[in-house]
Amino acid sequence: MPPHNDAPSPAGSYRQRLANLSLGTYPSSGTGAVQSPGHSPFYSSSLDSPPVDFQDQNMHRPLVPGVYVPTVAFFDKDSEDLDLDTVASHAVRLAEAGVAGITTQGSNGEAVHLSHNERMAVTRATRHALDEAGFNALPLIVGCGAQSTREAIELCREAHYTGGDYALVLPPSYYRSLFRTESITEYFHDIASESPIPILIYNYPGAVSGMDLDSDAIIKLSKHPNIVGCKLTCGNTGKLARVAAATAASTLADPGSGFMCLGGSADFTLQTLVTGGSGIIGGLANIAPRACIKIVSLYESGKLKEAAKLQAIVARGDWAAIQGGIVGTKSALESYFGYGGYARRPLPRPKPTEADEFARGFKELVTLEKSL
């Protein structure tokens, strides 16, 4: 992990492992207008062609156990155009806090509100900002789920072209009633076989009409060489424990197979680590990255009692985030950090009384965050 202003990390810690990564291996994503991957000499729009191999152009930054943040997308308050300056500065703020990696185009990133070109603009701006700030070893995961296999593969290619290292893929659900038993496993297998970047399976029943992948399905898919992890926003720690054990998932103490078994919410960060998981991809870290990271550090140091106390505060803050969704998260960022703005329509803009209520819900957590 890149240097930061916290106290020195203990020898062998995941922070130190990140700090030891070479910063000279990865090319900067560069500047300028976003281009379609169709204009890249390395991109093929045909699904009949073999998978794109970018290994010579863009080596994948390794994933290590810790806290990953699905970042917020920011918009101009009047026009709703992308605010790429804030996208960039927010990513650097998170990196400076010491997160293990960043995810764009997730639920917090309003991916469903963005065009393909806008998605690429956010990913490119994030990668470029991290590189310019000296965090060019920090991995970037990009949400690439779609309703068709073809579009999901296209999103993976676009993610790679604009600086993404990994793709986070939700299963499709619109035509769920027509799927065969094997349709979902074939979906992930086909994407993994065609994607130029490794993929992580995203299990989030709330976003896909209640579809909930079981541990058997995830374990089976984990055998594909280009499937390197999963995010379990289902909150089922029993499932997480089964997947982590079966895949020999990477942990703070043991790199294992390298498979990343990640919880999908900050409210069970400690539980994820205790059951053999690799860390979390948690939206709450947009507001309180240091608090989330502190739980990981305390656990790694064997201070379970202190970690549990901190987890309780984080869980209360995450309940506010769960209740308010992206509307509440952006409102809290605006109240406490002076930026955040609003979600795109048709999501509502909070009334002053609602903004005050969101701020109260996060107050305990933000107080903790600012003390770290």
**Residues annotated as part of the active site:** 231
Distance between CA atoms of 113 and 108, rounded to whole angstroms? 11
In the structure, how many helices (H) and strands (E) does the chain have? Answer: 11, 8
Q: Is the peptide bond before 346 cis (omega within 30 degrees of 0)?
A: yes
Element (H, E) at 199: strand 199-203
Distance between CA atoms of 290 and 312, rounded to whole angstroms? 15
How many other C-beta atoms are found inside a 10 Å radius of the C-beta of residue 213?
23
- According to DSSP, the residues that pair with 68 across neighbouring strands are 101, 281
| SS3 at position 178 | helix
Q: Is 248 exposed, middle or buried (0-12, 13-18, 19+ CB in 10 A)?
A: middle
Element (H, E) at 215: helix 215-221
Distance between CA atoms of 227 and 221, rounded to whole angstroms? 7
**230 DSSP 8-state letter:** E
Q: Is 135 exposed, middle or buried (0-12, 13-18, 19+ CB in 10 A)?
A: buried
How many other C-beta atoms are found inside a 10 Å radius of the C-beta of residue 112?
11
Residue for token pair 């960043």: 102
Residue for token pair 């209360």: 316
